[in-house]
């Protein structure tokens, strides 16, 4: 099928373009980009895209799949539907499934399920084919985190990189992992968090934690672990991605490390850019996150970090849980929230429309930069390039409710609320 998008706002961080164009798409490729395209085939489907935004497909660095083991939370099919509906053309799942993704057989099994999902996905969404599925391989085999997986075998099986998606506690093992991974050329991601300092805390230490009567987590639980991680990177030289950055001091440490030439990248999650500890006043269990929401100064530093590139990418960290799992006291509920279908509309509304971010800055942090953290590239919106694109309507109003979401879970503080901004179509 050939489609002509007329007068669409093209946001292309690769070419640094934010302008109105006509874009012709055919057979999975961009055929033409021009101020006006008149010479088209009679069968071309023409779409008036005034007011719509076209950008490269969004790339999620890490999210959680319920399958295998927790299919009541999310299946691979529902995850891919949710990703496509949110504008993501590539989604990367963490290895903390049950069983964990720690062997080549499970990697192959999940990729086969993704291929079968294409047949079920395409008729249900304005998306074809299904989003690309990237799989993080586990670093350790056992719960205690003392034995490494067969890293080379997992690399050969096609994992996108290595992470456990949980805090590291054995620095000697981390050092060995960095040494082993050097020749493999695969990204490795760590979540720095000192669990002894975290203890039983559930929200960021500060005035609000005292006011709400919730056990606090000091910022040093994150920053001391980042400092240790940076020392190991400096000693070994293996590139590392730092996940889930959430404090202002962490941004300072990462900025200094980058200025010193350390081979690191970093990401924060979309909810840490939007909300601070004051939101926890509602005690909504979907605001129980790990790491917790930061204080206002943390949010300001994270936003500045993303704008300047100190924080390379925005991750979604989509974490589905069943209704029963989340209907508990705030401190007892498992941490995490869904986000694949909500991140772009909310980030656009609260960061771009307020002019705190340019459209290019936001789109880069959601597409080009996360791809680069994975060692990949995103194509420019130019003729002869693959059509891996997201069409977004920043003004469309819709309601966040069970029937409007493709994810199987509904653990989000925005459930039942009106949302401004909706993805119209993705080309994967």
Domain ranges of the chain: 57-379+402-413
**For residues 394 and 348, is the Cβ–Cβ distance under 8 A?**
yes
Which pLDDT does position 145 carry in this prediction? Answer: 63
Percent of the chain with pLDDT over 90: 91
Please report which residue ranges of 199-281 form alpha helices under DSSP H.
207-212, 220-236, 248-259, 270-274
3-class secondary-structure state, position 338: coil
Distance of CA 315 to the CA centre of its chain: 3
Is 194 catalytic? The answer is no
Both tokens of 93, joined, read: 């799942």
Distance CA 215, CA 193 (A): 16
Both tokens of 419, joined, read: 């949302």
Which pLDDT does position 113 carry in this prediction? Answer: 86
Asked if the bond preceding 68 is cis, omega within 30° of 0, the reply is yes
Distance CA 419, CA 21 (A): 27
**For residues 66 and 320, is the Cβ–Cβ distance under 8 A?**
yes
- Each residue's pLDDT tens digit, 87-139: 999 999 999 999 999 999 999 999 998 888 776 665 555 556 789 999 999 99
Query: Is residue 154 exposed (0-12), middle (13-18) or buried (19+ Cβ within 10 Å)?
Result: buried
Q: Looking at 290, 298, 312, 317, which residue is catalytic?
A: 317
Which residues is 134 bridged to in the sheet?
A: 92
Please report which residue ranges of 27-170 form alpha helices under DSSP H.
76-85, 104-121, 151-157
Which pLDDT does position 122 carry in this prediction? Answer: 59
Which pLDDT does position 144 carry in this prediction? Answer: 55
Query: Is residue 169 exposed (0-12), middle (13-18) or buried (19+ Cβ within 10 Å)?
Result: middle
Using the CB atoms, write b or e for 16-53: b if 16+ within 10 Å. ebbeebbbbbbeeebbbbeeebeebeeeeeebebeebb
Using the CB atoms, write b or e for 57-82: b if 16+ within 10 Å. bbbbbbbbbbbbebebbbbbbbbbbb
For the chain, 428 residues long, the average pLDDT of each consecutive 10-residue run is 95 98 95 92 92 98 96 95 96 96 95 80 62 96 76 97 93 95 96 97 98 98 98 98 98 98 98 98 98 98 98 98 96 98 98 98 98 97 96 98 96 98 95
The two beta strands, 2-12 and 17-26, are antiparallel
- pTM summary value: 0.96
- Each residue's pLDDT tens digit, 276-315: 999 999 999 999 999 999 999 999 999 999 999 999 999 9
**The CA-based dihedral angle spanning residues 26, 28, 31, 34, taken in that order and rounded to the nearest 10 degrees:** 100
Measure the CA angle with vertex 101, ends 95 and 102; round to 5°.
120
CA of 272: how far to CAs of 27, 30, 227, 287, 335, in Å? Answer: 39, 35, 21, 10, 14
Both tokens of 154, joined, read: 């997992």
Which pLDDT does position 146 carry in this prediction? Answer: 74
CATH 3.20.20.140 corresponds to the domain 57-379+402-413? yes
**For residues 140 and 176, is the Cβ–Cβ distance under 8 A?**
no
CA of 292: how far to CAs of 166, 167, 268, 313, 338, in Å? Answer: 14, 14, 12, 18, 15
């Amino acid at each position: 099928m050939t489609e002509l998008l007329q007068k669409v706002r093209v946001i292309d961080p690769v070419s640094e373009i934010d302008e109105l164009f006509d874009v012709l798409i055919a057979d999975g490729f961009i055929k033409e980009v021009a101020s006006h395209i008149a010479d088209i085939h009679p069968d071309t489907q023409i779409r008036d895209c005034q007011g719509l935004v076209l950008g490269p497909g969004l790339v999620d660095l890490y999210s959680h799949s319920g399958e295998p083991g927790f299919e009541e939370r999310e299946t691979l099919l529902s995850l891919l539907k949710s990703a496509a509906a949110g504008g993501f053309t590539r989604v990367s799942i963490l290895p903390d499934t049950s069983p964990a993704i720690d062997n080549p057989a499970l990697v192959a099994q999940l990729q086969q399920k993704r291929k079968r999902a294409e047949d079920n996905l395409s008729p249900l969404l304005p998306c074809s084919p299904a989003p690309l599925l990237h799989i993080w391989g586990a670093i350790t085999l056992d719960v205690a985190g003392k034995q490494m997986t067969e890293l080379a075998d997992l690399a050969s099986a096609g994992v996108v990189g290595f992470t456990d998606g949980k805090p590291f506690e054995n620095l000697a093992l981390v050092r060995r992992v960095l040494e082993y991974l050097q020749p493999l050329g695969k990204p490795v991601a760590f979540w720095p968090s000192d669990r002894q300092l975290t203890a039983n805390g559930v929200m960021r230490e500060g005035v609000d934690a005292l006011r709400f009567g919730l056990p606090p987590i000091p910022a040093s639980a994150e920053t001391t672990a980042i400092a240790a991680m940076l020392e190991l990177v400096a000693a070994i030289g293996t590139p590392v991605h730092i996940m889930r950055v959430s404090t202002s001091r962490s941004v300072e440490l990462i900025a200094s490390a980058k200025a010193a030439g350390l081979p690191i990248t970093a990401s924060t999650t979309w909810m840490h850019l939007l909300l601070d500890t004051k939101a926890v006043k509602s005690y909504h269990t979907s605001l129980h996150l790990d790491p917790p929401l930061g204080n206002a100064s943390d949010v300001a530093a994270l936003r500045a970090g993303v704008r300047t590139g100190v924080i390379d990418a925005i991750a979604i960290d989509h974490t589905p849980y069943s209704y029963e799992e989340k209907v508990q006291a705030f401190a007892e509920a498992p941490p995490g929230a869904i986000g694949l279908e909500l991140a772009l509309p909310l980030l656009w509304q609260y960061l771009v429309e307020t002019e705190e971010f340019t459209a290019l800055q936001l789109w880069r942090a959601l597409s080009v930069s996360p791809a680069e953290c994975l060692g990949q590239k995103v194509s420019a919106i130019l003729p002869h390039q693959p059509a891996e694109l997201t069409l977004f309507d920043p003004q469309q109003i819709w309601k966040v409710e069970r029937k409007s979401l493709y994810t199987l879970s509904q653990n989000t503080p925005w459930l039942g609320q009106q949302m401004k901004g909706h993805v119209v179509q993705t080309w994967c």
